[in-house]
Structure 1
Amino acid sequence: MQTKLKKRNNTQNNHLKQMQTQKITTVETVLAWDIDDIGTWPQSLNNEFRAIILEKDPGRIKALEYPKDIRGRKFTENNYDKRLSNGEIVNRRWLVYSKCKDAIFCFPCKLFNSCNFKIATMGTNDWKNLSHILPQYEKAQQHIESMHKWCELSVRLKNQTTLDAQNQRLLESEKQHWCRVLERLLSIVEYLSTNNIAFRGSIEKLFQPKNGHFGGFVQLLGKFDTVMSEYLQRVTENEIHDHYLGPRIQNEVIMLMSDKVRDNIVSLVTLAKYFAVILDCTPDISHQEQMSLVVRFVNINDSAQITVKKSFITFLEVEDTTGFGLLQVLPDELK
């Protein structure tokens, strides 16, 4: 089971890297040709190009003035329709006119590059013999196979059963997995911070004695939670290098969460309009004087309950502990 999971994870990582590269390449290449003009398409198309093209039906420009050749002949839109022996008229959806080439192409054969006929590769503008070329071409086996591929791929794209759609679902699944992992890590950080509990021990590695409360909580969740269990397996088997467990990421998460808390306090103080500040100084272990900044304000919540709140904002390093010295530091921090 572990071997299968490891292979699946390696496959996922490879797919993610390939998909990022393919998306960039696809976008850059599509910009080089006009998707609405089949005559500008490259000779060979990959799956990404086909998916982009099939999002639209074969492009036909309506009410276009078709140019005449040296014999005075030109393409007419009557060729888009075929009259059956019983008098029924059927639309040739596969037939597309290219403005830049002044020629017609077979849309599915050009899409899959599966036919050697001129109408499928370079396009044809033999307007004189077109009434004979089209019926004969429609009977060609290669054209019929391309039509089947076109219909099948269109249905699969619509139902999201293609390989690209599967890769996209794989990418989305991997993204959701990491969102759930980070959600649990944030909860651990929030609990330790709220209860003023030390994060780290003397060792930072998982499943080692004295690796601290943060590592211990991660290991504990892994025993009961399937998301963390899979995550820990990836970490311990070195399947991933970015595991978000180190001291730097812990400090970064703490700062991000504290910024959110501070922003919320600031919004409440701004809403209250009037507030008071409480300043207190004390030296730290290095004898550097530190000043704590606390704001006191009246809070009115949605249920019209009025309370007086005091909220700690930050510690400030000060050189002068006199009233004037504290006043020099305070305005900038309040801004």
Structure 2
Amino acid sequence: MSGSILKYVAPSTSTTVGESAEDVQSVESRGEMPEVYSQEASYVKAQELEKIILSSSGESDVNEGDASRSLNQQDSDDDEEEEETVRLSVYSDVAAWPVPVPDVLRVDLIKRGSEPFQNRDGPFSPVERQGEKSKGKSQQLTTAWFYKALPNGEKILRMWMVYSPSKQSLFCFCCRLFAVDDKVTGASSFVTGFQLWWKLNPKVSDHEASEQHLTRLEKWKTWRAGLKLQKCLDHVHQTTVDREKRKWRDILHCLLDVTLFLAHQNLPFRGHRETMSSANKGNFLELVELLSNYDPILKEHFMRLEHAVASGKRMTSYFSPKIQNELICLLGNHVKVKIVISS
């Protein structure tokens, strides 16, 4: 259609200034249309124009996309900066710790120690003392309070005492570290922040000698020693429990095998005298003792049992007639269940 329309119009570049409409009409009547005005050429020009428009719009879309991505990147950078600020505040200021402190963060803080949080060299902000009977208008913390004087005149550093520049308060490192909640509020609390500098004596000494502080101090020292050796108390305890479980499982497996063997052979379990000093304790105990010569775990169990009997102490053995009958019943019920299921 664009080619047909171009038959009736003429661009200004195709005519000279002296040409008139009659000349153009005469050319039209003769059918001598220039090649420029053909349909194919017009279509090509339309295609080129369309490409230019699309390219220009595509560039605008790209620019808009780049702008959107830049805004998103800026927001992401702002979030990362905020997270980094929070993380740095946690590792530089004790007041930024959450209460209770998560286990992962607690382990990391114990590894770092209390020294990075002490800020014992200041600067310390003065605190206004309220009340008409106050002896001074303001009081200020000093570095001397971070050291404890011993009776012999020696001074030692109070490792538990840390200062928060943001809250301008004193904290107890171990009490804040193992605090369950922050319900104990007020300016006289070393968990939420102590700020009454005129009450440092005797509040510091009282807190230092309190049972709660000593318990948490011991826990802090124990955790620190365990982490330094890469062996905390929980790990040691769990290892001991797992070792005991494996030992008793192996012993019970051996007793079950003995029970199955005697039942399969239709042999009696018990003997006339089943004491440790008896010459013949019965098939069950004699067979267990025979297997102990080839099983170190069972051998150790027998040796501990003999030592307990000799010293007059009671010890779990799983060798009693009651346990033997219980093993027989358990295995018999298991056989019955198998028979019922298979039938």
Bin the TM-score by the shorter chain. Answer: 0.3 to 0.5
Task: Give the number of the structure whose residues are more often strand, by fraction.
Answer: 1
Return the index of the structure with the highest Cα Rg.
Answer: 2
TM-score, normalised with respect to structure 2: 0.38
